[in-house]
Structure 1
Amino acid sequence: MSQPWRILVVDDEPDLEPLVLQRMRRQIRGGKYQFEFAGNGLEALEKLRADDSIDLVLSDINMPQMDGLTLLSQLSSLDSDLRAVIISAYGDMGNIRTAMNRGAFDFVTKPVDFDDLQITIERTVEHLRQWREATASRDKLVTLQNELDIASNVQQSILPDDFPATAKYEINAHMVPARNVGGDFYDFVSVPDDRMFATVADVSDKGIPAALFMMSSRTALKGAAIGTGSPREALIEANRVLQADNPTLMFVTVIMAVYDPHSGEVTYSGAGHDPPVVIHTDGTAAQMPTTGGIALGIAPEQIFSAALKENTVSLSPGETLIMYTDGVSEAMNVDKEEFGTQRLLELFRGKPPQNAEDAMTAIFDAVAEFAGEAPASDDITCLALHRSAAP
């Protein structure tokens, strides 16, 4: 049996320890997690220096003696394998940005939703497991393909697979990595007013550098979505974070949308990315107007924000919104012919998807059939948001 993941919880609230132990009792009894506790950053550092087997630090920000941000700045000197997740006040972009710059892998917001916390912990330790395997294998790499396989595993480890499904809407998404790993990803995050942010993105370059930049981009976009409430403002904020520390000049194209399940409105903004497609209830489809914009990570804020717009469309009951990377439209067959946007628009004519999963299945099957034996040249990523038909 494998050893449990060891998690150090750092918080000065005395009620948190029994609450964590009670809410995580199944994972503790099953040997999946083992928890340690510290009341502040100084106490946490003492524990970490005395015990190098701790895998993950889950820390509050505001604590006496040493706060969480100061603690974060000390962790890199202890163990490069250690991962940190920060607990932040909702919408506190200043502290979230600082935490990211100091190496936080992810964050959760107060009041803590333990379901969300469990998903975050699982995603973090899975990434750590993949990263350790990659590190252990690095000396044994004999071909570039080995490195690309590792990058693909790291990439896949952080993609969410617990898709939202409510009486009003549902989301489904999928990413098929190419042999040459790029850095596609998708993500979604809900905010307290019931709106749901959804993101599809494509990082430049290949291999492990792209996978690492993908992780930074995902965290920046998630934090910006929670902290701003607007796709355009979220992209501006994420660009500010990524462009401030990007010596390799990597970039990421993004389409971000926020869906209001009460009105059916979708507001979206794109940074150098194709706009979404809406599939109507009769199976016809239309590509939404572009919002301009340039890729994240390379342009200063004034230039980036001036080029970026936002658009709002209404999603009727039974309609489906599709967000995708150019791995879909630019997928090629053996004759070097591209799948193209028009094939995507014609795909559902007369046979509209009944739910988000149906839409995903149809798109990936169609692209695979079109490509045939041709090798994939890029990741293929797609996300579907389906508004439930009115009862």
Structure 2
Amino acid sequence: MRQRMRREIRSGDYEFVFAGNGIEALAKLREHKDIDMVLSDINMPEMDGLTLLEQIPSVDPNVRSVVVSAYGDMKNIRTAMNRGAFDFVTKPIDFDDLRITITRTLETIELWRSALESRDKLVVLENELSLANRMQQSILPTSFPESDSYQVFASMEAARDVGGDFFDLLPIEGGRVGLAVADVSGKGIPAAMFMMSSRTLLRGAAIGQSDPSKILREVNQLLCENNDTAMFVTLFLGIFDPETGEFVYANGGHNPPVIFRADGTPSLLPTTDGIALGIFPDIIFQENSITLAPGDTAILYSDGVTEAENVEGEQFELDRLYEVFAEAPPRDARTATDDVLKAVNAFADGAPQFDDITCLTLRRGGGAE
């Protein structure tokens, strides 16, 4: 064997470890953890090749075995294959054929290792995505205000690879409520971590503060101070006063909400200057306000709504959002949110979802019910 394979040995293609029987072979396997394959005769003293085949997996289940058998000995060849042999060669040995068999076996081992590595990476990825999804869901409110004066309801459908959408309700002094919808850049665990930081900072900045522009400015400053990941978050924040219907807001680069008046007339909320948070410090966020009359509805959403695609690659866009309530204005916050999500899913019609789909609805009580 050494003489016939001297070229491969000199070039470093193969390195052989020799054993006189099956017992010695098992000892060599335990000693040399880097052995990839075993080439074994069936007929050996003390422990034959068929018994060796049964024992190899207990030492290293990833080793592949090739058996050497007498020409025409199909009974032993079948037994060897049933016991886990990868391939066989027959006597007298054709060394050109043996080289091909060894090469094929080693290539298969490399493919197997690559498949195992890919599987392990996939398992890790799946676990990370599952964890990120749980992190994302854990920070979302699960109870919503519902009274004669106003209603709020929100829902998010997470993409499989987990984006960074979140929404939140913030208690504001004077009986007012803060409504936030945000979208963090990136996917997976990093996005989930940045999302949780953004949400925590938002809630902290809102304590004792009723000015949405100042809240966004403070959150932006804090995000910029420790942002080694260079991630950012778009964030819309509105503060609603149920007594007066006043809706004061500031926008950090997020999609502007849609207002549906009580008669069903839609319009985009007037924009304010402001870029995504976490990019540049010392940004001044402008503020604006409108008054929601009884029966008016504000739809806050992420770009997962308007940029949802169908199988033809068309996007949902704002016009289709307007059409959701073309026949009748929103009746209540929960139904309105559900109607938007149903319309997006019907439009996508099974096309892959690449981004989180988030919708938050605020409806002022009164008007046509």
Q: 1-side partners of 2:281 and 2:241: how far apart?
A: 31
Once the two structures are TM-superposed, the CA of residue 328 in structure 1 deviates from its matched residue by: 0.3
Which residue in the other structure is 1:231 paired with? Answer: 212
3-state secondary structure, aligned to 2:320: helix
1:257 corresponds in structure 2 to 238
Structure 1 unmatched ranges of 5 or more: 1-138
**1:343 correspondence with 2:320:** yes
Q: Contact 2:262 / 2:367 at 8 angstroms: preserved in 1?
A: no
Task: Name the structure 2 match of 1:175.
Answer: 156
Give the deviation of 1:140 after TM superposition. 9.0
Tell me the distance in 1 between the aligned counterparts of 2:327 and 2:289: 26
The question of whether the paired residues in 1 share the 8 Å contact of 2:184 and 2:194 is answered with yes
CA distance in 2, matches of 1:359, 1:238: 30
- Give the deviation of 1:248 after TM superposition: 0.9
CA contact (8 A) 1:186 1:383 kept: yes
* Matching residue's letter, 1:258: I
* CA offset digits 1:67-94 (Å, max 9, x no partner): xxxxxxxxxxxxxxxxxxxxxxxxxxxx
1:214 to 195, 199, 206: 195
- Check if 1:161 corresponds to 2:142: yes
**Secondary structure in 1 matching 2:235:** strand
Query: Does the 8 Å contact 1:284/1:346 carry over to 2?
Result: no
User: Partner residue of 2:365?
Assistant: 388
1:354 partnered with 2:331: yes
Q: Is 1:321 paired with 2:302?
A: no
Structure 2 residue 183 is the aligned partner of structure 1 residue 202: yes
Superposition deviation, residue 264 in structure 1: 0.4
1:369 maps to: 346
Root-mean-square deviation (CA), in Å? 1.5
Aligned: 1:269 with 2:269: no
Q: How many angstroms apart in 2 are the aligned matches of 1:310 and 1:342?
A: 26
Identity of aligned residues (%): 51
Q: Which amino acid aligns with 1:270?
A: N
Contact 1:285–1:346 (Cα < 8 Å) also in 2 = no
Could you say what secondary structure the match of 2:330 adopts? coil
Q: What amino acid sits opposite 1:361 in the alignment? A: D
Specify the code of the residue in structure 1 equivalent to 2:314: E
| Distance in 2, Cα, partners of 1:390 & 1:370 | 30
Cα distance in 1 between the residues matched to 2:367 and 2:255: 29
SS at match of 1:228: coil
Secondary structure at 1:142 match in 2: helix
Q: For residues 225 and 383 of structure 1, what CA distance do their matches in structure 2 show?
A: 19
Q: What does 1:18-167 align with in structure 2 at a 5 Å threshold?
A: 142-167=123-148
- Distance in 2 between residues matched to 1:377 and 1:226, nearest whole Å: 34
Instruction: State how far apart, in whole Å, the 2-side matches of 1:273 and 1:203 are.
Output: 10
1:289 lines up with 2:270 in the alignment: yes
Q: Separation in 2 of the partners of 1:255 and 1:191?
A: 16
Alpha-carbon distance between aligned partners in 2 of 1:229 and 1:242, rounded to the nearest angstrom: 20
**Counterpart Cα distance in 1 of 2:290 and 2:327:** 22
Query: Displacement, 1:158?
Result: 1.3
Task: Verify the 8 A CA contact 2:172 2:209 in the aligned structure 1.
Answer: no
| Cα deviation 1:276-325 (Å, max 9, x = unaligned) | 11111222211111112111112011xx21xx211111101011111111
Greater Rg by CA = 2
User: Per-residue deviation at 1:358?
Assistant: 1.1
State the alpha-carbon separation in 2 of the partners of residues 262 and 232 from structure 1. 21
Which one-letter code corresponds to 1:216 in the other structure? Answer: S
Tell me if structure 2 keeps the 8 A contact 1:269–1:309: yes
Q: Which runs of 5+ in 2 are unaligned?
A: 1-119
**Runs in 1 of length 4+ with deviation above 3 angstroms?**
none
1:359-384 CA-to-partner distances (Å, cap 9, x unmatched) read 10110000000001101010001100
1:193 aligns to what SS in structure 2?
helix
Output the CA distance in 2 between the equivalents of 1:281 and 1:350. Answer: 13
Aligned residue pairs, count = 249
TM-score by length of 1: 0.62
Partner amino acid, structure 2, of 1:360: T
Q: SS of the residue aligned with 1:323?
A: strand
